[in-house]
Chain A
C-alpha cells in the first residue's frame, strides 16, 4: 500500500484579501481529500475486499465521507490514513454482522459474501484459494488481525488502534488465526 505523504491540507493558510476564511478551509479539505483518495483509495478497497466485504466500494466511500465530515476534528493529516483504515474495519465488521443476521432470518438463500468471495478468489492458485477460504471462515477479529498484519504489514500497536482493541488481544487473535490456518494446511497435505 502506498504511504501517506504529508499533504499541505490543514496547514493554516492565510486567506488572500477578499476571500472568506471558510472558503479556504473548505477548499483545503477538498484538496486534501482528493490527494488522500488518489493515494489510498485502491489500498483501502483491497483491504475491504480482503476483510470479506461484499460491497467494498460503498464501504470505502462511506469511510471517506466520515473523514470529510470530521475533517476539522482530525489530529493532523498523518492521522487520516489510520482513521480511514479504522473506519473501513468497523464498517466491514458491521456489514458482515448485518449479513449474518439477514442470512439467519432469510434461511438458506444465496449468500452475497460467498458470491463476492467466489468472484474475487477465482484468479488465485489452488492452494492459495484454500487458504483464503480458511481465512474467510475465521472469526472476524482474527481475520482482521491477520489481514492487517500480513497484508498491510502493520505493527501490533497500529493494528490495535485500527481494531480498537489492546495489543495483547491483537497478539492473541493473530496467534489463534495462524494456528487455525496452519492446521487447515496440514490437513490438506
Chain B
C-alpha cells in the first residue's frame, strides 16, 4: 500500500537510519567518561564521610552539653530516688 502506514513505517526506518549514521562518538570518550565517574564517586564518598562526621560531632556535642548542664541533685538521665536496702541478718551474725 503506497502512502499508507506501512509506507510510513518503511520511510521512518530509513530516515532514522540515515540520521543515526550521521552521529559519531567523540574520540577518547571512554577515558573522559571514566575520569568523570571516578571524580564523582570520590566526591560522593567525601560528602558522605563529611556528613557522617558532622552527625557524630553534633550528637557528641549535644550529649556533652546536656551532661554538663546537669545538677548533682537533679540528674538528666536517672532521676528517680535511689534507695539502698540493707538486709539485717536474722541470726545476728554478719559477714566477716
Binding site for B on A (CB under 8 A): 30, 33-34, 37-38, 41-42, 45-46, 49-50, 56-57, 61, 64-65, 68-69, 120-121, 123-125, 127-129, 131-132, 135, 146-147, 150-151, 178-179, 181-182, 185-186, 189
By a CB distance below 8 angstroms, the chain A residues around B32 are 61
Q: Which of A42, A46, A68 has the most CB of B within 10 A?
A: A46
- A-B pairs, top 3 by smallest CB distance, nearest first, are A128-B15, A151-B16, A46-B20
A92 shortest CB reach to chain B, Å:
14
A128 touches B40 (CB 8 A): no
Kindly specify which of B3-11, B47-55, B75-83 makes contact with the partner chain.
Answer: B3-11
- Interface mask (B53-83 → A, CB under 8 Å = 1, otherwise 0): 0000000000000000000000000000000
**Is B23 an interface residue, CB under 8 A from the partner?**
yes
Binding site for A on B (CB under 8 A): 3-5, 7-9, 11-20, 22-26, 29-30, 32-34, 36-37, 40-41
CA distance A18 to B81 in the complex (A): 59
B23 touches A186 (CB 8 A): no
Given contact pairs A45-B25, A128-B15, A182-B7, a sample of 19 additional A-B residue pairs in the complex whose CB atoms are under 8 Å apart: A34-B34, A41-B30, A42-B25, A57-B26, A68-B37, A120-B22, A123-B22, A124-B15, A125-B18, A128-B14, A131-B11, A132-B15, A132-B16, A135-B15, A150-B9, A151-B20, A178-B8, A181-B12, A189-B3
